[in-house]
Amino acid sequence: MDNNAIVERIISKERLEPYLNYHNNDLSKAIAHYKSNILISESFYPLLAVLEIGLRNSIDYQLTKRFNDKEWYDNKEFVKIATRFQIDRISQARTNIFSEKKEITPGRIISELSFGFWTSLFDTKFEMTLWKNLRLAFPNCPKNIRKRKTMSSKFNGIRKLRNRIFHHEAITWNLNVLNSYKDEIIHGIEWLNKDLLEWIVELNHVEETISKFRKTID
């Protein structure tokens, strides 16, 4: 059995099917594209990690001030305005920590909450209750675009890309769009803290990775 056949069997034909369709059923090209997709996805990880951690910590800081409570997620005022989605995610975070036999602390709760939880706080429902405080998480965002609707659209778009990457799905159908996503992520990091821009320079290999595999994919 040749290597391509082994890869096809292990990865599964169903997972390779979109790549096969893209490359007119050329198995070698499909597998090369699949491999390139893994490497390009990998290149996004450092930027996504900095953005996600920075976003949740910045929001946590603002909500701690808003409710004057390090455990704001359990604060009665927050619980009163939260949706079932947020309450369920907080409950699940607590369950996950408990199952690992660890002490439940604010830091562990914040770390356990998903990116989807944080972006959900930019929903329309929170325009009048949380946005006045959450907007302060983006001190470097120009005021003319520092709107709840803009932040919701931007970070939910990044979240969808992040979820595709973390679930090992294809992201490489349009490489120019991927470069735009890279710029979006960097803008988000800059809005949180300008000093992080210099810090992430050596972590950012997205553009060169895309360039390296462009011929393989096209």
> Domain for residue 22, yes or no?
no
- What count of residues does the chain have? 218
User: Which residues of the chain, if any, have pLDDT below 50?
Assistant: 1
> Domain for residue 175, yes or no?
yes
> Domain for residue 5, yes or no?
no
Nearest to 86 by CA among 125, 56, 118: 118
> Domain for residue 69, yes or no?
yes
pLDDT of residue 1: 44
| Distances from the Cα of 199 to the Cα of 3, 39, 47, 50, 202, angstroms | 41, 22, 11, 10, 7
> Domain for residue 19, yes or no?
no
pLDDT of residue 218: 85
> Domain for residue 10, yes or no?
no
pLDDT of residue 209: 97
For 154-207, what is each residue's pLDDT tens digit?
A: 999 999 999 999 999 999 999 999 999 999 999 999 999 999 988 999 999 999
> Domain for residue 4, yes or no?
no
Number of domains in the chain: 1
Q: Which domain holds residue 105?
A: 42-217
- Model-level pTM? 0.92
- Rounded CA separation 7/88 (Å): 39
> Domain for residue 32, yes or no?
no
